[in-house]
A and B are shown apart, each in its own frame.
Chain A
Amino acid sequence: MSATDMNAAGLRRDERLERLKLFGLSSPAVLIVLIILVIPVGWLFYVSFIGADGTFSMENYERMIKRKSYARIFSTTFQVSLLTTGLCILIGYPLAYFMSQLPTRVANLCLITVLLPFWTSLLVRTYAWLVLLQKNGLVNNWAISLGLWDEPIKIVHNLNGTLIGMVHIMLPFLVLPTYGAMKAIDRDYLKAAANMGASPARAFWTVFFPLSTPGLFAGALMVFVLCLGFFVTPAVLGGGKVIMVSMKIVSNIELFVNWGAASALGVVLLVLTVAVLWVASRFLKLEQMTGGGH
């Protein structure tokens, strides 16, 4: 055996040792993920296959196919989540852009106002919207006294009210990553584009916008996924007609004598969400969204 071979063997041994050490270092993290994620989700899967009589059964899934309400509830959930995400983009992107153009001190002040609602309870904010938007609420009363409309209009206890409440709660989740991505864009790129003869609009769409998309996608994804599990806001502002999966989970827990009836809903929501993310990842680069693509 030559010296180089021995060297190579030694290097390989060192490499193995280092890998083991690194794994040892990360094992607490792996353990935590196992305990707080893998085991509960596995348990959820298991329970969803347990019927009312305590034995293995598909009844919790069969019920979802038999009763049309389940498909409708899932479609409402995705519809509300998509609409909320879309509205958040429409409002949040220009807001983030505006903030990114401001001097740092003013921008920080704006950031604080964006973050401020975070410090108020979600429940309080939701009920505040109810007070504002109801038939004899502030919005209707002001609008009528200003002559904007004559009769109280129905803004809450329906899909509109739900969306208003949810967009308000979700907006910071979109604005923050988008703003972060925009701040990281080198202004010289835009100057270079202008130098090459691009109009401001063209410079924005071909240079600035593509560079800001990782932040925008990250924010949009966060908003969408959080919306899927929303409970309080649609329950309070939806008037009992906007029924999302989380609400059905609660009513199934009350109604059926087994946890499986509710767990199965959680499993289906999880699978559908993963499917949506997978489809999204075919078109968008997911790793870019988390900031790893630079």
Chain B
Amino acid sequence: MKTTISTAVVASILASAAMAADKSVTIASWGGSYQEAQSKALFEPAAANTGVEVKQETYGGMSDVRLQVSSGQVTLDIVASGSGSAARAAAEGLLEKLDYGVIDVSNFYPTLYSDYCVGGDVFSTVYAWNTDTFGEDGPQSWADFFDVEKFPGKRAYRGKVAGALEPAILADGVAPEDVYEVLGSEEGIERALNKIRELKPHIDVFWTSGAQHAQLMKDGEVDMTTGWNGRFDNAKKDGAKVAYSFNQALLDYDCFAIPKGAPNKDVAMEFLNEISKPEYQDDLPKYITYGPTNKAAYDTGEITADVAAGLPSSPDNAAKQVPVSLDWYAEWETIAAEMYQEMLTE
């Protein structure tokens, strides 16, 4: 009796060890409450169901991937990335082409996956305000955010160009549908920068990470900031006096990519298919208010109407927002970033 039990135990240990040795993926993401949400909703349950061993890391973005690929020492199998930087990394040849024969995207919003990156969540760049300073009815447009007479108080703004010019050009009176057309020249970029220059004396902090802008609001360091909606909801859960609006917000998505030469490319492809399934994606909003990229996730009943109403990708919210143009970033980001730095160092 005793022997049979121990044999069974040994066998199962051996089996699980063999499985782990067979199938493992290393995933890198951005850390903080974002990666925690991904981990709880996607990575851990998918790992439990497939037997794939998941190692998680945090990383500094596509420059880490470039370093790994150019030195031939690729250790990451899957990386979470912003859609824009993934598009640029793909153009540079740093990513594996995704096999949509393996990854099922039949229920995805068509704009939320590309040849090299499959959408993981939908988020918004919003303006958030301190409810102690401005009450629940804070600024309702980017023009309000830039209006220091109507809404006196200290601002924080992004320290990088991504998602920083659109608000300024909207505040300058450009219609949402014309944003990228106007920004499609150095004069247009300069026009947006001039708007930020006007606000600059009131900008206390140029933030560099999502954790930072959440902290700034939590500590009451500034009265208003730009930032990613999910981080503010999590800060609010932690007791921060913060509210935000989707009106004129920038609708964007994060995606998963496979670095070129990833050691477990095939497992990674299967794993991406797994975490793209609605049964995982419908759990993500429980941990962070980012919307699923798989439409079917709304049909499983896990996402209540209440929760859906607060997600960036819900139809009502999406209609109020400006979708981010990957084409603009591919063409203009480098030039715009240099011009942005010039504004910052003045």
Contact = CB atoms under 8 A, between A and B. Distances in A.
Interface of A: 63, 67-69, 72-73, 76, 134-137, 154, 157, 235, 239-241, 243, 248, 251, 253-257
Given A239-B205, A251-B341, A253-B63, 6 more contacts: A67-B338, A69-B342, A240-B206, A240-B208, A240-B344, A256-B334
B337 interface: yes
B219 A135 contact: yes
B61 A254 contact: yes
A136 B66 CA distance: 40
A73 B159 contact: no
A241 to B, nearest CB: 6
Given A135-B220, A136-B221, A157 B204 contact: yes
Interface of B: 60-63, 66, 88, 92, 159-160, 204-208, 219-221, 333-334, 337-338, 341-342, 344-346
Contacts of A67: 338, 341-342
Contacts of A73: 345
A31 to B, nearest CB: 24
Contacts of B220: 135-136
A78 B333 CA distance: 29
B337 A251 contact: yes
B204 A154 contact: yes
A293 to B, nearest CB: 41
A241 B207 CA distance: 10
A76 B208 contact: no
Nearest to A158: B204
A84 B345 CA distance: 20
Contact of A134 (B159, B207, B221, B337): B221
A243 B342 CA distance: 11
A240 B159 contact: yes
Contacts of A134: 219, 221
10 contacts: A67-B342, A135-B220, A135-B221, A136-B219, A239-B205, A240-B207, A241-B206, A243-B344, A251-B160, A255-B337
Contacts of A68: 342, 345
Nearest to A236: B212
Contacts of A72: 345-346
A240 B88 CA distance: 25
B206 A257 contact: no
Contact of A248 (B160, B341, B346): B341
B196 to A, nearest CB: 13
Contacts of B63: 253-254
A17 to B, nearest CB: 45
A73 B338 CA distance: 12
Contacts of B88: 257
A243 to B, nearest CB: 6
A175 to B, nearest CB: 32
